[in-house]
Structure 1
Amino acid sequence: MRIGRPRFENLKRRLLGLSAAALVLPVAAGIAGTAVAGAAPAAHRAPSGGYEEVSVPSSMGPIKVQIQWAKRGGGAALYLLDGMRARDDKNGWSFETNAFEQYANDNVTLVMPVGGESSFYSDWIASSNFNGQDITYKWETFLTEELPDYLATRGVSRTNNGVIGLSMGGSAALTLAAYHRDQFKFAGSLSGYLNISAPGMREALRIAMLDAGRFNIDAMWGPPWSKGWLRNDPFVFAPKLEGLSLYVAASSGLPGQFDHPSKFIDYYNTSNAMALEALSLVNSRAFQVRMKTLGVDATYSFPSTGTHSWPYWSNELFKARPQILDALNAW
């Protein structure tokens, strides 16, 4: 599920069975960067354009955030969430895609929090005991309280924001928007897992998080029968999304224009990315049906080809751009 480089009864069972194995396999690589610590300045208008890296205080300690300021100093912001294998040095959107270039001339600030591997951007109930984690994740608090507090000192609105994420970050984006409607006007899921109560999903996520940093999923939402799982399942909380501008995308899992394996490792990663995306499509289609029964509108993008990998998410971010800018009035 993090994400990386090039990554319905019999068929569905086969996909779900395959997912438990596929979810544990890394398909990612990245580049390193250096954080720039910054105390919140006493400004109340966002800088006009430009890039900055800041260190924002939180209950988890200082969190690095990569920021591209709105071109004309507007107050709108778009939060971009990473995947399961989020790195501690840079947000994947900043180096795996051309997100900065896509929105360089738009009046919206791009906000890319760094870190949160296997976190689902949630407030955990405890620290993970399997890997000796010394802090308890409180990402929902950071993204809806501490980070907005900092951004407000830089002229960014507390109420005119969007959030979009991929894979793990896709379901997290919908969760954050559902429970913080005063903050977010737009939410987008790209290849997200939007029906995590479906058969096999909880087991698959448990295995995936053990592989991605040896995280104990019970420390996140509690054991599988806990209410925390239902709170964080988009399929369950779907009614809370009514009236929100929504964008949901997932591809078929069939190799497409950005898949060109030539070596064994390429074929290995591509096959994993195919399985992951096929599972995401099953989840996203189920979510679509759920939303239709509720009469809740959303924009859906289900390309006939594409795998669980960054070039396709970059494309979807660009496709979602007009809707995002409209929702935030940020042209």
Structure 2
Amino acid sequence: MRLRTVLAVVTAAVMVSGVGFATARAVPPGPVLRAPAGGFEELSVPSSMGPIKVQVQWAARGGSAALYLLDGLRAPAGHSQWTTDTDVLRRFAGDDVTLVFPVGGHASFYTDWYRPSSTNGQSTTYRWETFLTRELPDFLAQYGVSRTNNAVVGASMGGNAALTLAAHHRDQFRFAGAFSGFLNPTFPGWDLTMRAAMLDEGRFNLDDMWGPVGDPAWRRNDATVQAELLRGLPLYITSGNGVPGPLDASSAVGNTVNAMGIESLAVIAASIFRERTTALGIPARVDITAGTHTWPYWQQSLATARPMILAALGAS
């Protein structure tokens, strides 16, 4: 059987103080039964969308559990913002869980689209659900990373995706978290907000993602609608209330005003999700605090979620 040789390219600079980078190496021409113990790497992962960069921090003691972390709407092409805008690498450096940072997914909502965006010349159809639940787990299995003992969290755009991916792939995920996510896209008027945001962020066409409102894809990708599928899964949902808090002090006034407006929508979504899970009798921790739509608060949310994640994965 022919096995693909995987090139692992190591980042040249330390992105977070105190976190080391592994020496560049190629994957052996056969399955690896145990993930490397510690260290940071960038991998090139084959997919139906073409090669996808994935940044990883390997489990400290070579364990098989993994935590997937999803970016927001403005996901950059070169790196995950989790690695540059939060302390996640340092915070999990001693934990026996591999951190998995898919790079890219700009305005994708980490879902499988019907077709390429027709308004910005996009040539490839986004297939992010396929990548995150089939292609990437299969690839990471070559390193000994489990296909079934995973957690997933996402910020903003990635929040709803984290919950819907977990809902539809319960065999893969054992924990899900959403920080300032838009968790109810079928709620009246939300499509207009999403359409405006996607046009503003790269001229993406919402209709090419899930079709017109009312298409079954909308309900399938609505975490609140799919809440029943999350029963029995540990869940952690957070949102700010749109009122600036101490973590906004270093932001420019214009950025803070924008973040206030977006978070005032996210808190509505979190409240609707909480009402839905309460009505269904599904335990879910939902924290609503002072704060806006920005990375320092999502760093704080992940720090709070860390013990829950490690416990769910048996990696504490």
Q: Establish whether TM, by shorter chain, passes 0.5.
A: yes
Deviation of the 1:200 alpha carbon: 1.5
CA distance in 1, matches of 2:158, 2:223: 12
Deviation of the 1:88 alpha carbon: 0.5
Q: For residue 97 of structure 2, what is the amino acid of its counterpart?
A: V
Deviation of the 1:197 alpha carbon: 1.6
Q: Secondary structure at the match of 2:226?
A: helix
Q: Deviations over 1:74-114 (max 9, x none)?
A: 00000000000101100110100010011000000000000
Q: Is 1:178 aligned to residue 163 of structure 2? A: no
Q: For residue 191 of structure 1, what is the amino acid of its counterpart?
A: S
CA distance in 2, matches of 1:78, 1:90: 17
Report the counterpart of residue 278 of structure 1 in structure 2: 264
Q: Could you say if the C-alpha distance between residues 231 and 37 of structure 1 is closer, same or farther in structure 2, counting changes exceeding 3 Å?
A: farther
Query: Where does the alignment leave 5 or more consecutive residues of structure 2 unmatched?
Result: 1-14, 16-23
Report the counterpart of residue 10 of structure 1 in structure 2: none
Q: Secondary structure at the match of 1:235?
A: coil
Q: Pick one of 293, 296, 300 that aligns with 2:279.
A: 293
Q: Pick one of 63, 79, 88 that aligns with 2:77.
A: 88
Report the counterpart of residue 105 of structure 1 in structure 2: 94
Report the counterpart of residue 312 of structure 2 in structure 1: 327
After superposing on structure 2, the runs of 4+ consecutive aligned residues of structure 1 that deviate more than 4 Å are 36-41
Q: Secondary structure at the match of 1:213?
A: coil
Q: Is 1:68 aligned to residue 54 of structure 2? A: no
| Higher normalized contact order (CA 8 Å, seq sep 6+, divided by chain length) | 1
Deviation of the 1:199 alpha carbon: 2.2
CA distance in 1, matches of 2:60, 2:250: 38
Q: Pick one of 276, 288, 306 that aligns with 1:302.
A: 288
Q: Secondary structure at the match of 2:246?
A: coil
Deviation of the 1:37 alpha carbon: 10
Alignment of 1:114-129 (within 5 A): 114-129=103-118
CA distance in 1, matches of 2:249, 2:175: 34
CA distance in 1, matches of 2:25, 2:200: 31
Q: What is the TM-score when the length of structure 1 is the normalising length?
A: 0.86
CA distance in 2, matches of 1:133, 1:38: 32
CA distance in 1, matches of 2:164, 2:38: 29
Q: For residue 296 of structure 2, what is the amino acid of its counterpart?
A: P
Q: Secondary structure at the match of 2:53?
A: strand
Q: Could you say if the C-alpha distance between residues 168 and 50 of structure 1 is closer, same or farther in structure 2, counting changes exceeding 3 Å?
A: same
Q: Pick one of 175, 188, 198 that aligns with 2:177.
A: 188
Report the counterpart of residue 9 of structure 1 in structure 2: none
CA distance in 1, matches of 2:250, 2:86: 19
* 8 Å contact from structure 1 (residues 41, 154) kept in 2: no
* 8 Å contact from structure 2 (residues 166, 176) kept in 1: yes
CA distance in 2, matches of 1:246, 1:295: 13
Report the counterpart of residue 219 of structure 2 in structure 1: 230
Residue-pair matches, total: 293
Alignment of 1:202-241 (within 5 A): 202-241=191-230
Report the counterpart of residue 246 of structure 1 in structure 2: 235
* 8 Å contact from structure 1 (residues 37, 54) kept in 2: no
* 8 Å contact from structure 1 (residues 38, 56) kept in 2: no
Report the counterpart of residue 17 of structure 1 in structure 2: none
CA-based RMSD: 1.5
Q: Is 1:268 aligned to residue 254 of structure 2? A: yes
Q: Secondary structure at the match of 2:143?
A: coil
Q: Is 1:49 aligned to residue 38 of structure 2? A: yes
* 8 Å contact from structure 1 (residues 39, 55) kept in 2: no
Higher mean displacement: 42-51 or 253-262: 253-262
Alignment of 1:26-41 (within 5 A): none
Query: Where does the alignment leave 5 or more consecutive residues of structure 1 unmatched?
Result: 1-30
CA distance in 1, matches of 2:43, 2:188: 41
Q: Pick one of 312, 316, 319 that aligns with 2:297.
A: 312
Report the counterpart of residue 149 of structure 2 in structure 1: 160
Q: For residue 57 of structure 1, what is the amino acid of its counterpart?
A: P
Deviation of the 1:38 alpha carbon: 6.1
* 8 Å contact from structure 1 (residues 80, 111) kept in 2: yes
Q: What is the TM-score when the length of structure 2 is the normalising length?
A: 0.90
CA distance in 2, matches of 1:184, 1:261: 35
Q: For residue 302 of structure 2, what is the amino acid of its counterpart?
A: L
Deviation of the 1:39 alpha carbon: 5.8
Deviation of the 1:182 alpha carbon: 0.2
Q: Secondary structure at the match of 1:311?
A: helix
CA distance in 2, matches of 1:83, 1:228: 20
Deviation of the 1:198 alpha carbon: 1.6
Deviation of the 1:260 alpha carbon: 2.1
